[in-house]
Amino acid sequence: MRKNRLAAFGIAALMTAAVAACGASSTETKGAKAEGTTEARTFAAEEKRAMPAAEAEQNAGETEESKAEEAAAEELKEIDPARPLHLESGNRLHSWHDPAVNGNGYMALANVMEEALFLSDDDAKEFPDLEKTLREFHEARFTRLKKELVDNMDNNKDVFQGYPDIQMSVNGQSHVRRADTEVLSFVSYVDMFYGGVHPDYFYGGYNFDTKTGKEITLADVISDASALPELLDPVLSAENGEKYDLAADSIREILKEKKPEEYSFTIEPEGVRFWFSPYDLSSFAAGMFTGEILFKDHPEIFTGKYQNASPVWARACPELEPVTFFRDGKLTEVLVTGNIGEYGAHDSISVSMDGKELVIPQYGYVLEPHLLCRDGKYWLYLFNRGENDFSTLHVLDMNGSSPKETGTVEGISREFRILKESEWVDYDYEKAHEEESAEDDHRSVLITDPDNIRLDEHMELLSTYSASAVYAMQADGSPANKEAYYEIYNGDSFRLTLKQDAEFPEADPDTLADKGTAALPAGTEIGFYRTDGKDTVWFLLGDGRCIRVKLDDTDWPQPVNGTDADELFDGMIFAG
């Protein structure tokens, strides 16, 4: 059962920071406004002379104060504070099997995987052009990745003779950097392995206008790209340390030769981040370089567009990669690592912030760190998956001089949905063949909004399963369920059968309000629908009716209406 549940507090809607952020504009923009002032006054004077006398006299009575108030009201009217987008991701896999090469009859010779991004159903309706752009983008990239692998398969088959455990692979992943109603920006990470010593990998930044779906170019954001080499020098040094400083002279020369279209960038909440893949600036061993130029530090080079970022945001933080954000305009770097022990599992988690380390004793196999921000305050959510995919959430306050764990929630993880069952085909492994899955089969809900986090929670009410709800990050960083119930996805395919006649309260399927009694005969099948996570589960009948089943006690054997659940229901399954 769930333990150490964090307390829930009220949710405050804070949008003032978005308005404040919109006030920043570039020097060029300010200059243009200043130059236009005289022209505007001249035009106003000429227009006034052409007015009828009565109208001119009326306008002359307007005070400077009323004009200022009117101008301020118009400015506020034009401001549309950005809000977070809600995204999902799905993996599409294409694999090739050739027993003549790898000899074991079941292992893939090669595979290509593409992680595709989708808008939530509601956001896809609001921003159809962006949803269309995303689908076209990922379809085209998946085609390119497949071609990349096919072009190398014949040339590298000899590598696999005698090494059946080695596979060729091309994998594409998308790490969201900013997702709001102004900009969707993500960095694409692609790694390619053809049997060599190490995989090749590269990063590419992609930026799309949320409302139009059009790709944003560097010229849309930066008015003077010629200044980039000089401005990137200090930020690359600050974020990449010694590996940059050792090759700084040669890197500066490379940057001077770069054309604007050759820069890979993402638009962040506070600036523009530049990404340089291995070999772009230095050797492969030096790895990737990245650095961010803040809007506030160099307004003279920015066009003023896309700076109205949501003050509320969240993003995943790839494990073993430094995570950077800016507190009060100062760079902060966080690194999350799992300290690997026996059998490939980690026995503790290390969280380092600006060199100050916190070690959390925690056994597990998979770490999923997420950085959450609300109006300049930061928290780190660490989802740790252990045995049987049981997940624990660690909540860390990142606003002090060092990371501080403020609480844990057991049995909670990011939501993972099966939208439809994959159609698996029984292949003849005596022959070479190909197979492909669709990214629509399974979806993971990404965490992009601290006020709207879809999470799965481990339940053990009348069976073991996961149920989903929308959570919000509270003022203390803790997550709290915003809804009165949890949704049990695909619950109707997981059914119990009554062993004896029984009566249960009938409920409205939408509101869950009781509306009478349902008398059900033995043999009736009921499908899991919703639960309150405490002591009640709602089930759907085959005819669409809904019943409420309340446990007398949640301790084993979970009696219902005075009868042990295992005597009342057939088909309950509990994980050990």
pLDDT for 40-98, tens place per residue? 222 222 322 333 343 344 444 445 555 555 554 444 444 567 899 999 998 888 887 76
Which of 91, 173, 141, 106 is CA-nearest to residue 437? 91
Cα–Cα distance, 343 to 339 (Å, whole number): 12
Phi, psi of 95 (to 5 degrees): -130, 155
Confidence of residue 101 (pLDDT cuts 50, 70, 90): low
Residue 286 or 512, more confident = 512
Residue 236 and residue 166 in one domain: no
On whether residue 136 sits in a domain, the answer given is yes
Which pLDDT tens digit goes with each residue over 541-561?
999 999 999 999 888 889 998
On whether residue 173 sits in a domain, the answer given is yes
On whether residue 478 sits in a domain, the answer given is no
**End-to-end C-alpha distance for the chain, whole angstroms:** 12
CA angle 410/415/418 to nearest 5° reads 130
pLDDT at 408: 92
Which of 206, 221, 205, 185 is CA-nearest to residue 84? 185
Overall average pLDDT of the 510-517 stretch:
94
Domain final position from 305, 323, 346? 305
Residue 171 and residue 249 in one domain: no
List the single range of 20-24, 196-200, 369-373 with lowest mean pLDDT: 20-24
Q: What percent of the chain has pLDDT over 70?
A: 76
Residue 111 and residue 73 in one domain: no
On whether residue 405 sits in a domain, the answer given is no
List the single range of 46-50, 444-448, 507-511 with lowest mean pLDDT: 46-50
Which pLDDT tens digit goes with each residue over 279-290?
888 877 777 889
Place of tokens 């010629």: 226
Q: What is the CATH number of the domain that holds 532?
A: 2.30.30
Residue 90 and residue 64 in one domain: no
Confidence of residue 320 (pLDDT cuts 50, 70, 90): low
Return the half-sphere exposure (C-beta side, CA atoms, 13 A cut-off) of residue 200: 11
On whether residue 416 sits in a domain, the answer given is no
On whether residue 408 sits in a domain, the answer given is no
Residue 283 and residue 235 in one domain: yes
Which of 412, 420, 407 is CA-nearest to residue 454? 412
Amino acid, res. 209: D
Which pLDDT tens digit goes with each residue over 129-165?
999 999 999 999 999 888 888 877 766 666 655 555 6
Residue 47 and residue 140 in one domain: no
Question: Is-contact 85 126, C-beta < 8 A?
Answer: no
Q: Which structural domain, as residue segments, surrounds residue 504? A: 488-570
Which of 393, 443, 430 is CA-nearest to residue 413? 393
pLDDT at 247: 85
Domain final position from 270, 305, 340? 305
Q: What is the CATH number of the domain that holds 290?
A: 3.90.640.20
Residue 90 and residue 189 in one domain: yes
Residue 40 and residue 142 in one domain: no
CA angle 369/371/375 to nearest 5° reads 165
On whether residue 247 sits in a domain, the answer given is yes
Residue 90 and residue 73 in one domain: no
Residue 115 and residue 177 in one domain: yes
What 3-state DSSP class applies to 229?
helix
Amino acid, res. 19: V
Q: What is the CATH number of the domain that holds 111?
A: 3.30.565.40
* CB within 8 Å of 117: residues ≥ 6 apart: 87, 88, 89, 134, 138, 174, 176, 184, 186, 446
Residue 228 and residue 197 in one domain: no
Domain final position from 305, 334, 349? 305
On whether residue 105 sits in a domain, the answer given is yes
3-state SS track over 28-77: HHHHHHHHHHHHHHHHHHHHHHCCCHHHHHHHHCCCHHHHHHHHHHHHHH
Number of compact structural domains in the chain: 4
